[in-house]
Amino acid sequence: MDELNENDKFTVEELEAIRIWLQQSKHIRGRNDDQFLVNFLRACKHSIQRVKEKMDIYYSIRTVLPEVMANRDPLDPFIRKVIQMGVSVPLPKTVNPDDPKIMLIRGNAFDGDVCDFPDILKIFTMIGDIQFRDDDQLVICGETAIIDLGSSPSSHFFNFNISFLKKAAILNQQGCPLRQKGFHFINTPKGFDIVINVFKSLMTEKNRGKTIISHGSSLASLHKYFPKSILPEEYGGELGPVQQFVDEWEQRLIDNREYLIHDQSLGVDESKRISTNPIAEEKDLFGTVGSFRKLELD
């Protein structure tokens, strides 16, 4: 808590200050419940000015990503199919209660013949929204990602539109109440240097300084950082199969269907904005200027 500058004595006053600001910010349609606002306070180490900036970015970037933020119904047959693909899978355990939570991202589970990358990001965002509401450990201790780049069933995984990637990067960094702690890559393919260079180019300077480790195809190397007790069996662990956690999260999203659908209505109305749009100066953000064509990494 010291790292977050947390002090219960001032939290009530801080929450009231943020609520007043939201009421005055007519362009923002956003949540104002305690847990949601506390998450932003923690992400910004209780700097109210930074909360205002981050929250404005949070809703501004979501507004320009309808392909991610619209149609968030977990009972929709297509959405359920993407959820069941299991590309983004939060793992349930950590060694210590103050360790960062772990997000498993399985590039090898992505099937570009079934859906596109924005659909994957949609599910990732839906899961993240529930985590941010419910998981204090995630918000306080941050998150570490294990990214599995094992052979994908489709090279379309790398057919990214540059403008969309920039929006996605802002959504998951500047506009997200998440403290990213590190990135661990496993089953890295030939040409991984291309992937990591693209990855780093989209990161903020702060995140480029985080731990970024490639374990190649070595589970033994991965286990030096993540013991078997907190990993699924596909990664030499003792937690059971990944599909178990995919199924659990599918049900959890369904249980929170009303919450997820309600968030579709939140965002910004630029016609009511008095302040400067915090993402307006991002180059190429609102136009399509090219894409990363299918990189041959096999």
Q: What is the pTM of this model?
A: 0.86
CA atoms within 13 A on the CB side of 197: 6
Give residue 293's pLDDT.
39
How many residues would you count in the chain?
Answer: 298
CA-wise closest residue to 72 among 83, 86, 88: 83
Distance CA 99, CA 36 (A): 21
Determine whether 112 is exposed, middle or buried from the number of CB atoms within 10 Å of its CB (0-12, 13-18, 19+): middle
Distance CA 90, CA 177 (A): 16
> Three-state SS string across the chain, please?
CHHHCCCHHHHHHHHHHHHHHHHHCCCEECCCCHHHHHHHHHHCCCCHHHHHHHHHHHHHHHHCCHHHHCCCCCCCHHHHHHHHHCCEEEECCCCCCCCCEEEEEEHHHCCCCCCCHHHHHHHHHHHHHHHHHHCHHHHHHCEEEEEECCCCCCHHHHCEEHHHHHHHHHHHCCCCCCCEEEEEEECCCCCHHHHHHHHHHCCCHHHHCCEEEECCCCHHHHHCCCCHHHCCHHHCCCCCCHHHHHHHHHHHHHHCHHHHHHHHHCEECHHHCCCCCCCCCCCCCCCCCCEECCCCCC
Beta partners for 29? 267
Domains identified in the chain and CATH numbers: 2-67+266-287 (no CATH), 74-255 (3.40.525.10)
Contact between 105 and 239 under an 8 Å Cβ cutoff? The reply is: no
CA-wise closest residue to 82 among 34, 125, 128, 114: 114
| Separation in Å, CA 178 to CA 120, 128, 173, 271 | 19, 9, 8, 29
Give residue 281's pLDDT.
58
Mean pLDDT per 10-residue run, the chain (298 residues)? 57 94 96 92 90 92 89 98 97 97 93 89 95 92 92 52 75 78 88 74 72 91 98 96 98 98 93 84 47 42
Neighbours of 29 (CB within 10 A): 15
Q: Which structure tokens are listed for 259?
A: 């919450």
Beta partners for 89? 104
